[in-house]
A and B are shown apart, each in its own frame.
Chain A
Amino acid sequence: MTSKTTEEKTYLFDKPKNVKRVFIFFYSALVVLLIAEFFVHKHPHFPWEEWWGFYAVYGFVACVLLVLAAKYILRPLVKRPEDYYD
C-alpha cells in the first residue's frame, strides 16, 4: 500500500483519496444499518426499543452531549496548569 518517493515514504492515509474512501464506506454503512432495521423482528425489554432508529439516535445524541458537557462544563471546572500539583 505504501510507495516510495524520492525523499520520504507516503503512507496509507497520506493520500486524500484513501481517507475519502474510508468516509464513503463509513457513511454507506450508516445508511445500510438504518435500512436493515426495517427487516428486524425485535423482542425488546422496553417499548422504546421498538422505535425505528432508537439506538442510532441515542448513540449520536449521547456522544454529542457527552462531548459538549465535557468541553463546556467539566473542562472549565477542572482544568489547571500542568504543574498545578508540583
Chain B
Amino acid sequence: MINPIPPAFVFIIGALVISFLKGNLRRGVMLLLPVLAFIDLIQLPAGDSWVFSFLGQDLVLARIDRLSLIFGYIFILIGLITTIYALHVEETLQNMAGLLYTGSALGVVFAGDLFTFFIFWELLTVFCVQLIWARRTKKAMGAGFRYLLFHVVGGLILLAGIVLRVHHTGSLDFSLIGLNGGPGSLLIFTGMGINCAWPFLHTWLSDSYPEATITGTIFLSAFTTKTAVYALARAFPGAEPLIWLGALMAGFPIFFAVIENDLRRVLAYSLINQVGFMVCGIGIGTQLAINGAVAHAFNDILFKGLLFMTMGAVMYRTGKINATDIGGLYRTMPLTCIFCIVGAASISAFPLFSGFVSKSMVMDAAGSEHLRLIWFILLFASAGVFHHAGIKIPYFAFFSHDSGLRPKEAPLHMLIAMGLTAFLCIFNGSFPHFLYSLLPYQPVGYEPYTFPHVLSQTQILFFSALAFALLLLSGIYPAEIRCVNLDADWFYRKGGRLFYRLLDVCFNNLNRVCDQWLAKGLTGAINRFCRHAPARISVWLLTPFSRLGASGGEDNPRRFDKSVQDAFDNGVIPIGLSAAVSGLFLMLLFLFNN
C-alpha cells in the first residue's frame, strides 16, 4: 500500500496524465480520478500530515479534521458528477482545467498553513478563468478578464493580509483568525469575502458564470464560493459583520433574479442568495449555525449543480438559454424537466428535499439567538428563492409558452449525472441523519421533521406559489424582456470606460501640447538659434570693423553684414574671418574675466 497523498495531487497529477491520453482511455481515467481521490482521502490520518519545513515555518498540505473532511467529500463527489456530465467534452484544455480546478479546491480545503492556502486559492482563479474562456465568445473573453482582474485584486488583498498577519503573530498556521487581529486579519477577511461574493463584490459571479461553457459552469458553481465559505468557517466563525453581510446576500439578488432573462444568470443570482444563508450562519457562529452553514454548502453544491446541469442540457440541445427563446420543453425533455423540478424543490427547501434539512438549521439558529430582523430577511429570502429559482427556472424553461422547439432529450451521460444528483438531493432531504453525521459539531441535535416546521415551510412555499400564479394570470408578473440589467459591475464596466476616456483626454491633450510647444516649438527655436546665432554674433562682433573701418558709401556696412551672413549660411566662412571672430571672442572673454 502506497502512502496516501494530499487529495489535491491526485487531481493535479491526473490532469497531467490525461493530457497524454485520448478517447475512451482518457474518459476512463477521468472517471477513475475522483474514486482514487476518495479512497486516498479516507486513508489519510486525522490531524496534520505532509508537513514540510520552509523558511522556518511549517507548511501543512493535509490537515484533516471534521470541517475539512466534509468539504473534501462533497468536492470529490461533485468532481465525479461533473466529470460524468462532461463526458462529451473532448477538448484537452477544458478537461485539464476542470480537474486542476477541482484539485485546487481540495488543496485549499486541506491546507493547514496560510502559504499553501494562498497558493491553491490563486490556482482556483487561474483554472476557473480557463473554463470561462473556453466558451470562446467575445462576451466570455470579456467576462473572463473581468473575473481575473477582480480575483487578482482579491488575491493581493489576501496576500497583504497574510504578510501582515505573519509579521504580527510570527505564525503561518491557518486556523481561527478572528477580526481582532489588527489590519492583517481584516485584509484576510476582505480577500476571502471577494471570493464569497459579498454584496457589491458579487458582480464577478453574476457576470461570468452565465458566460462560461455548459460544463464549466457546473464546476464554477461548486468550488470558488464554497471554498470561501469553508475559509470563513475556519478562520472567522462568529464574526458579527458576517450576519448582516449574509442577510444582505440572501436578500438583494432575488430582486435581480426576478427580472433577469438569462436563466443561467438567474441561477447565478440564486447562488449568491444561497451563499448568503451560509455566510449568515457562519456569522451567527453557534454550533447549530456553523453546522447549518456547512450542511447547506454541501446541499447547495448538489442542488445548484443539478439546476445548472439541467439548464446546461437545455442549452446543449437548443443552443438557447434566454427565457424569451425557450419554453414548453417538457414535451420532449421530460427527464431533464423532472430533474430540474427536483433541483428546484431542493433549493426551495420543500420537505423531503435537501434544502429543507439544512437551510432551516440556519433559520433556527437565527431564531434561537433572537435576531429578529435577520430572521425576517432570511424568511423573505426563503420565499423569494422559491419564487425565482423554484418556480421561475422550471416554469420558463419547460412550461410557459410553447417555443415550438422540440429538442431531443439530454444525452445519456448527462441524464446519469443529473439523475445521480437528483437522487442525492432527495436522499439528503429524506434521510438527513447521514448528512448530519458528517457535520463538524457532534452531536447535531437538530430535528428538521417536526409537524410545525413541515407545516410552516409548506405554507410559505405554497402561498408563494399562489402569489406567482395570481401575478402571472393577472399579467402583472414582469414579462421576460431581452435586455441587460445593470448591477454594481456598471461602476467598473462603464466606470472603466470613463476612466479610459478621462485618461485619454488628459494625457493625449498633454501629449499634444507638449508636441506643439516642446517638440515642434522649442526645438524649432533652438534649431533656429543654433543656425543663425554664429552669424548674428559674428556680425555683431565685427560691427566696429565694418562701421569704423568703412570705406566707401553708406551701403558698405550692410553689404558687409550680408556677406558674413551668407558665408555662414553657405558654410564658406573664410578661415581668416573665423580666426578673427574667434580671436575677438577670446579677447572679449579675457576682458570680461578681468
Does chain B have a CB within 8 A of A24?
no
Judge whether B487 and A66 touch: CB under 8 Å: no
Does chain A have a CB within 8 A of B529?
no
Please indicate the chain B residues that have their CB under 8 angstroms from the CB of A56 in the complex. Answer: 459-460, 462-463
Please indicate the chain B residues that have their CB under 8 angstroms from the CB of A74 in the complex. Answer: 255-256, 259, 485
- A52-64 near B? 1/0 per residue, CB < 8 Å: 0111111110111
Please indicate the chain A residues that have their CB under 8 angstroms from the CB of B583 in the complex. Answer: none
Judge whether B384 and A62 touch: CB under 8 Å: yes
Report if A63-B467 is in contact (Cβ < 8 Å); known contacts: A13-B399, A33-B455: yes
Partner of B463, one of A23, A30, A41: A30
Judge whether A62 and B483 touch: CB under 8 Å: no
Judge whether A64 and B452 touch: CB under 8 Å: no
- A72-86 near B? 1/0 per residue, CB < 8 Å: 001101111111110
Q: Tell me which of B8-16, B56-64, B160-168, B469-477 binds A.
A: B469-477
Partner of A82, one of B254, B370, B478, B484: B484
Judge whether A55 and B478 touch: CB under 8 Å: no
Please indicate the chain B residues that have their CB under 8 angstroms from the CB of A57 in the complex. Answer: 463
- B475-505 near A? 1/0 per residue, CB < 8 Å: 0111001111111000001000000000000
Does chain A have a CB within 8 A of B466?
yes
Interface centre among A55, A57, A64, A84 (most CB of B within 10 A): A55
Total residue contacts A-B, CB cutoff 8 A: 145
Judge whether B368 and A45 touch: CB under 8 Å: yes
Partner of B465, one of A11, A26, A71: A26
Interface of A is mostly: helix
Partner of B330, one of A12, A34, A63, A69: A12
Judge whether B471 and A64 touch: CB under 8 Å: yes
Report if A40-B455 is in contact (Cβ < 8 Å); known contacts: A13-B399, A66-B254: yes
Q: How far is the CA of A30 from the CA of B470 in the complex (A)?
A: 14
Please indicate the chain B residues that have their CB under 8 angstroms from the CB of A64 in the complex. Answer: 467, 471
Judge whether B464 and A63 touch: CB under 8 Å: yes
Q: How far is the CA of A19 from the CA of B387 in the complex (A)?
A: 20
Judge whether A26 and B469 touch: CB under 8 Å: yes
Does chain B have a CB within 8 A of A42?
yes
Count of chain A residues with a beta carbon within 8 Å of a chain B beta carbon: 48
A65 to chain B, nearest CB (A): 9
Judge whether A59 and B459 touch: CB under 8 Å: yes
Q: B222-272: which residues lie under 8 A (CB-CB) from chain A?
A: 254-256, 258-259
Partner of A58, one of B370, B372, B460, B468: B460
Interface of B is mostly: helix
B302 to chain A, nearest CB (A): 25
Partner of A67, one of B465, B471, B493: B471
Please indicate the chain A residues that have their CB under 8 angstroms from the CB of B486 in the complex. Answer: 77-80, 84
Q: A8-30: which residues lie under 8 A (CB-CB) from chain B?
A: 9, 11-13, 23, 26, 29-30
Report if A75-B471 is in contact (Cβ < 8 Å); known contacts: A13-B399, A59-B459: no
Judge whether A80 and B484 touch: CB under 8 Å: yes
Please indicate the chain A residues that have their CB under 8 angstroms from the CB of B478 in the complex. Answer: 67, 70-71, 75
Does chain A have a CB within 8 A of B53?
no
Please indicate the chain A residues that have their CB under 8 angstroms from the CB of B466 in the complex. Answer: 26, 30, 60
A83 to chain B, nearest CB (A): 8
Judge whether B451 and A58 touch: CB under 8 Å: no
Please indicate the chain B residues that have their CB under 8 angstroms from the CB of A83 in the complex. Answer: 484
Q: How far is the CA of A82 from the CA of B463 in the complex (A)?
A: 34
Partner of A59, one of B461, B476, B481, B482: B461
Q: B145-198: which residues lie under 8 A (CB-CB) from chain A?
A: none
Judge whether B259 and A75 touch: CB under 8 Å: yes
Please indicate the chain A residues that have their CB under 8 angstroms from the CB of B482 in the complex. Answer: 82
Judge whether A46 and B375 touch: CB under 8 Å: yes
Does chain A have a CB within 8 A of B320?
no
Report if A80-B485 is in contact (Cβ < 8 Å); known contacts: A46-B367, A64-B471, A67-B258: yes
Judge whether A42 and B452 touch: CB under 8 Å: yes
**Closest residue of A by beta carbon distance from B487:** A78
Judge whether A81 and B484 touch: CB under 8 Å: yes
Judge whether B464 and A55 touch: CB under 8 Å: no
B469 to chain A, nearest CB (A): 7
Judge whether B383 and A63 touch: CB under 8 Å: yes
Q: How far is the CA of A41 from the CA of B456 in the complex (A)?
A: 12
B499 to chain A, nearest CB (A): 15
Does chain A have a CB within 8 A of B380?
yes
**Closest residue of B by beta carbon distance from A62:** B383
Does chain A have a CB within 8 A of B26?
no
A41 to chain B, nearest CB (A): 7
Does chain B have a CB within 8 A of A43?
yes
Interface residues of A, Cβ cutoff 8 Å to B: 9, 11-13, 23, 26, 29-30, 33-34, 36-37, 40-46, 49, 53-60, 62-64, 66-71, 74-75, 77-85
Ordered by A's residue number, 15 sampled pairs between the chains whose C-beta atoms are within 8 Å are: A9-B331, A13-B399, A23-B469, A37-B459, A40-B452, A46-B370, A55-B457, A59-B463, A59-B467, A71-B477, A74-B255, A74-B256, A75-B478, A78-B486, A79-B484
6 closest cross-chain pairs (CB), A and B: A45-B367, A63-B467, A59-B460, A70-B258, A59-B463, A78-B486
